[in-house]
Amino acid sequence: MLGGLFLYAGFTKVFPPEHRFLFEMTVSAYRLLPEWGVIVVARALPWLEMGLGLVLMFGWLQRYVAAFVALLLGFFIVVMSITYARGVEVNCGCFGFGEAVSPLTLARDSGLLLMAVYLAVIPWRRPPPAS
Amino acid sequence: MKALGRITALLGLALLAALPLAAQGTAAPGPGPEVRQRCWGVDPKAPVLIEVYSDFMCPHCRTLYLETMRQVLADYAAHGKVCVAYYEFPLPNNKHSRPAARYAVAASRLGPQKWVQVMDVLYYFQDDWAQNGELEPVVARALSEKELAQVKTWMKDPKLEAWIDRDVAEGKRRGVGSTPTLFITANGKTEKVAGAVQYGILRRYLENLLAQR
């Protein structure tokens, strides 16, 4: 399920093609990166999200991928929280555009983080196979 | 652990259910019919319209205007490719924003050139007047004595206050929650963009829109 959400999140940022420019403006509005950095992140991140989503959906290397996803989500939440706390209204850019960062979006992304942590933790807790 | 798994699955379903609501944010409310009369640029019917809701005391609005919109005015509006309309959206917490907005709206009656010059000084010297509210010396840098006297007379006109109130009401109707907020309309579609977008990034979007004509 988390994989599906990530796949969708990445997809909405690149299709239709004009969404790529909208996502660039979303990243730019955070005022954290120079212009070249904005373009690199905005172009690479959606494909990373789609790749991670696919890998999660198929369950490959689940513990490692889910752990990476959890770190990524944690980073997003920290950046959005700081921006929100500064009183700057920016688009979340999470699933589509026009959705401002708000307590609701932060809560929703925190829910995704919990899902990722759960997926990362489960494989470690599986009982060893019977000999 | 099974219970946690079920909770996680339910959470995922709830998030999936919330997605359509998030996706609806793309289609922003379009511009009003009179916007073309107040937009800055050589061609009011330019293919791209950028509407900016701004507060003179807002630091990000300052960044947007000085680092992005001035370039847009010079590189696109002056060549008939883009029409720029600025709307006053003084935030309630910013004490001196509304008086600054009054100066800008009154100065606009002197023509677009003077309006831009007043915008320039209000944003450029924002740090000076935002603390003490001393706006007149700042505006005086952009206007002659005669022009300043005229502007001060116009500032007493109740229609000016109504103009600002209308801008704020329209902004709220369109979902403006803070500043700066941009609405970019082209090819029959309006997109809402919040925050101080860098010029190079906005330019990429504008070039893409203009190429689609």
pLDDT number for residue B41: 78
Give which of B188, B150, B203, B180 is closest to B52, Cα–Cα.
B180
Integer Cα distance of B55 and B122 in angstroms:
11
pLDDT number for residue B22: 45
pLDDT number for residue B51: 95
pLDDT number for residue B25: 42
B65 falls within a domain: yes
For chain B, how many structural domains are there in total? 1
Contact (Cβ atoms closer than 8 angstroms) between residue B7 and residue B27: no
pTM for the full model? 0.85
Give which of B196, B179, B182, B32 is closest to B101, Cα–Cα.
B179
In total, chain A counts a number of residues equal to: 131
**pLDDT tens by residue, A47-85:** 999 998 898 888 778 888 888 888 888 998 998 888 888
Contact (Cβ atoms closer than 8 angstroms) between residue A103 and residue A85: no
In total, chain B counts a number of residues equal to: 213
Contact (Cβ atoms closer than 8 angstroms) between residue B100 and residue B180: no
pLDDT number for residue A24: 95
> In this complex, which of A25, A39, A125 lies closest to B197 when CB atoms are compared?
A25
Q: Do A98 and B19 touch (CB under 8 A)?
A: no
Q: Containing domain of residue B75, as a range? A: 26-211
Q: How far apart are the first and last CA of chain B?
A: 56
Which residues of B are less than 8 Å from A111 in CB distance? Answer: 11, 14-15
In the predicted structure, residue A103 carries a pLDDT above the cut 50: yes
B205 falls within a domain: yes
The CATH number for B204's domain is: 3.40.30.10
Contact (Cβ atoms closer than 8 angstroms) between residue B190 and residue B184: yes
In which residue ranges of chain B is pLDDT below 70? Answer: 1-27, 32-34, 36-37
Q: Do B201 and A24 touch (CB under 8 A)?
A: yes
Give which of B22, B88, B63, B9 is closest to A102, Cα–Cα.
B22
pLDDT number for residue A62: 80
B10 falls within a domain: no
> pLDDT higher for B73 or A97?
B73
Integer Cα distance of A104 and B200 in angstroms:
31
> pLDDT higher for B9 or A12?
A12
Give which of B198, B195, B199 is closest to B178, Cα–Cα.
B195
Measured between CB atoms, does B210 come within 8 Å of chain A? no
HEC readout, chain A: CHHHHHHHHHHHHHCCCHHHHHHHHHHHHCCCCCHHHHHHHHHHHHHHHHHHHHHHHHCCCHHHHHHHHHHHHHHHHHHHHHHHHCCCCCECCCCCCCCECCHHHHHHHHHHHHHHHHHHHHHHHCCCCCC
B5 falls within a domain: no
Q: Do A108 and B196 touch (CB under 8 A)?
A: no
What separation in angstroms does the CA of B24 have from each of A22, B20, B158, B176, B186? Answer: 15, 6, 38, 16, 19
Give which of B86, B89, B138 is closest to B115, Cα–Cα.
B86
pLDDT number for residue A1: 76
* Residue from B176, B181, B184, B204 to probe the interface with A (highest A Cβ count within 10 Å): B204
pLDDT number for residue B127: 94
B7 falls within a domain: no
Bridge pairing between strands B48-54 and B82-88: parallel
pLDDT number for residue B81: 95
Q: Do B196 and A111 touch (CB under 8 A)?
A: no
pLDDT number for residue A107: 87
pLDDT number for residue A123: 66
Phi, psi of B197 (to 5 degrees): -75, 140
> pLDDT higher for B171 or A88?
B171
**pLDDT tens by residue, B123-156:** 999 999 999 999 999 999 999 999 999 999 999 9
pLDDT number for residue A116: 83
Integer Cα distance of B4 and B7 in angstroms:
5
In the predicted structure, residue A115 carries a pLDDT above the cut 60: yes
Which residues of A are less than 8 Å from B24 in CB distance? Answer: 96, 98
